[in-house]
Structure formats: structure tokens, C-alpha cells
Amino acid sequence: MRKLVFTFFAVLILQIHPLTGFAASAEQAVAGCVACHGDKGNSVAPIFPKLAGQNKKYLAKQLRDFKLHLRKNPTMEGLVAGIDDKTIDTIAAYYAAQQIQATPTPLPDEDEDDEDDESDSNAFSNTEELLKTGHELYLSGNLETRVPACSACHAPDAMGNPLAGFPSLKNQHATYLVATLKQFREGERKNDSTGMMHMSAKRMSTAEINAVSTYLANLK
Ligand code: HEC
Ligand code: HEC
């Protein structure tokens, strides 16, 4: 009986103080993510996306997409398999509340599989030119090749559209951005519901992908 009363009050306290309950369970829920995504979602290794400050709606959608195998990544698909819906929302809210930290990035490394694209990747002689090209493409797209303006959906400041669940791109690792844009381009990542990212990425050259990713990673 005493145990029952104790449990009753413990549950009551957790409900009265949702923040205490939230903090404990959120931290537990993300304990297995820190190794790759870093402390509070600021990953150190640039192949792992930063999650800090990303909008809740986008994060929750990605986790559900991995769970449903709509977005492919063996590690992530395995990790989310046992995570229930409520915990997905807790994790998404936790990372959305963190602050993203910039990691100033030089030019991404040349990719070995892109040998046929070599002239393309070498089209830029220096980082300054790369940042300028990335900036122009981001804000206005490429009229000639019909690449749409990224800013139309991801916002002029690249913070995304939280209500629509369009992701923030500001200060994400360039290496990850390059990788995921190539996946959209080749159709390996196709969890964008109406194909809008595939339509944008398939028109981008490797040089443009490198430029816009470097621009986004270094945004002030
Ligand atoms: C062993 C390393 C590893 C661990 C541990 C890990 N992740 Fe990931 N995560 C990745 C990689 C790699 C990607 C990029 C997948 C891709 O796009 O190919 C990723 C992608 C993601 C994305 C998509 C981000 C975006 O910008 O689209 C989310 C969200 C995510 N992980 C959440 C989590 C959560 C929550 C946990 C803990 C429950 C976790 N991850 C644990 C490696 C890991
Ligand atoms: C018509 C709207 C639209 C346009 C234009 C658009 N995007 Fe996106 N983008 C999206 C949506 C929606 C997603 C999320 C897809 C999903 O649910 O996985 C996305 C996802 C992304 C991601 C993945 C983010 C992550 O964390 O994994 C990157 C990178 C990206 N877009 C870059 C760009 C760039 C660069 C451009 C301009 C060349 C661009 N987008 C143009 C709507 C758009």
C-alpha cells in the first residue's frame, strides 16, 4: 500500500512538473546518439549530421522515415527500430531546443567516384569564389539549368521553415551536405514526399553542390 501511494505521488509530481520528467527521459533517450551526433547534437565528425537547432517537425519525420525504411541508412534504420512514437517526439523536441555551433569548413575533399566530373569540381580556383557561387545559387538558383532558389523553401537565412518542416541548413557540416545532396541527386535518398529535393538536386553539378554546401557550413 505504501508503495502504491509512493508511486501515485511520483507519477503526480512528474505530471505537475513536466519539465523534470522531460529532462530525465530526453537525456536518456539521446544517450545512444551522442557517440555520433555529439554532445547536444553538435557532432564533431563531419560525416554525422548536426541535429542541434534543427526543427522538431523535420527531425521527427526523419526518425519515422528511417523506422519505415523510407530513408535508407543501415545504422539509423537499426537504431530507431525500437524507439516508440512518443520517444521520437521527445528526442525531436530535445534537439530542436539546442543551439547549433558553426564549424568553419574549408573546401570539401574531392570525391574519388567523381572522376568523370573532374573538370566540374575543379572549376573553382579558390574558396572565396566558391562561397560567392554558393551564395548566388542559394539565393537565386541557376536560371540556365533551372535549379530553383534554395532560399524559397529553406528561407533566405537558411534557417528552414519549422511550420512546414523544411530543414534548417545553416552551419550543417559541408561534408554531410555534399553527401546527402548527391544522394538526392542520384535518387538514393527519396523520402522528400513530393520529390521536391530530387527535382532540385538532379539539376545541380558537383561544383554547385560543393559551392552551396561550403557556403551553408560557413554562414555567419
Ligand atoms: C553510429 C553512428 C550513429 C548513431 C549512434 C546515431 N546516428 Fe543518427 N545518423 C548517423 C548517420 C551516418 C546519419 C546520416 C545518414 C545518411 O543520410 O546517410 C544519421 C542521420 C540522422 C538523422 C537525420 C539528420 C538530418 O539532418 O537529416 C537524425 C534525425 C538522426 N540521425 C538521429 C539520431 C538519433 C536520435 C540517434 C540516437 C537514438 C542517432 N541518430 C544515433 C549516424 C548515427
Ligand atoms: C520546393 C522546396 C525546396 C527547394 C526549392 C529546395 N529544397 Fe532542400 N529540402 C526541401 C524539403 C521539403 C526537404 C526535406 C525532405 C525530407 O523530408 O527529407 C529538403 C531537404 C534538403 C536537404 C537535407 C537536409 C538534411 O539535414 O539532411 C538539403 C541539404 C537541402 N534540402 C538543400 C537544398 C539546396 C542546396 C537547395 C537549392 C539548390 C534546395 N534544398 C532547394 C525543400 C526544398
Closest CA to 82 of 100, 67, 98, 97: 67
Residue 220: which of 102, 46, 53, 134 has the closest Cα?
102
Q: What is the pLDDT of residue 109?
A: 52
| Contact of 100 with 50, CB cutoff 8 Å | yes
C-alpha cell, 130:
566558391
Residue 90 CB burial class (10 angstroms; 0-12, 13-18, ≥19) = buried
Q: Which amino acid would we find at residue 20? A: T
pLDDT given at position 46: 96
Does residue 50 contact residue 86 with C-beta atoms inside 8 Å?
A: no
Nearest Cα neighbor of 197 from 169, 175, 170 is: 169
d(CA 56, CA 162): 7
Instruction: Kindly identify the ligand whose nearest atom is closest to the C-alpha of 181.
Output: 2
Q: Is the pLDDT of residue 47 over 50?
A: yes
In angstroms, the CA 82 to CA 16 distance is 28
Please give the Cα distance from 42 to 100 (Å, whole number). Answer: 6
pLDDT digits (tens, 9 = 90+) for 142-200: 999 999 999 999 999 999 999 999 999 999 999 999 999 999 999 999 999 899 999 99
Ligand nearest to the CA of 90: 1
Nearest CA owner, ligand 1 atom 18: 73
Calpha distance 151→4 (Å, rounded)? 56
Q: Average the pLDDT over 123-150 and give the result.
A: 90
Identify the residue whose cell numbers are 557561387.
Answer: 133
**Phi, psi of 20, rounded to the nearest 5 degrees:** -65, -45
Atom 37, ligand 1: residue with shortest CA distance: 33
From the CB of 62, is ligand 1 less than 6 Å away? yes
Residue 155 Cβ < 6 Å to ligand 2: no
| pLDDT for 24 beyond 80 | no
Which grid coordinates belong to 163? 511550420
Give the span between the Cα atoms of 194 and 200, in whole angstroms.
12
Query: Residue 182 C-alpha to ligand 2 middle, in angstroms?
Result: 12
The alpha carbon of 54 and the centre of ligand 1 are apart by a number of angstroms equal to 13
CA–centroid distance, 81 to ligand 1, in Å, is: 13
- For residues 208 and 159, the answer to whether their CB atoms sit within 8 Å is no
CA distances, 77 to each of 12, 35, 55 (Å): 35, 16, 20
pLDDT of residue 4: 54
* C-alpha Rg value of the chain to the nearest Å: 20
Quick: pLDDT tens for 55-106. Answer: 999 999 999 999 999 999 999 999 999 999 999 999 999 999 999 999 987 6
Q: How far is the CA of 90 from the centre of ligand 1 (A)?
A: 16
User: CB of 61 closer than 6 A to ligand 2?
Assistant: yes
Determine the straight-line distance between the first and last CA of the chain, rounded to whole angstroms: 59
Using pLDDT thresholds of 50, 70 and 90, give the confidence band for residue 128. Answer: confident
pLDDT at 139 over 70: yes
Counting every residue, how long is the chain?
Answer: 220
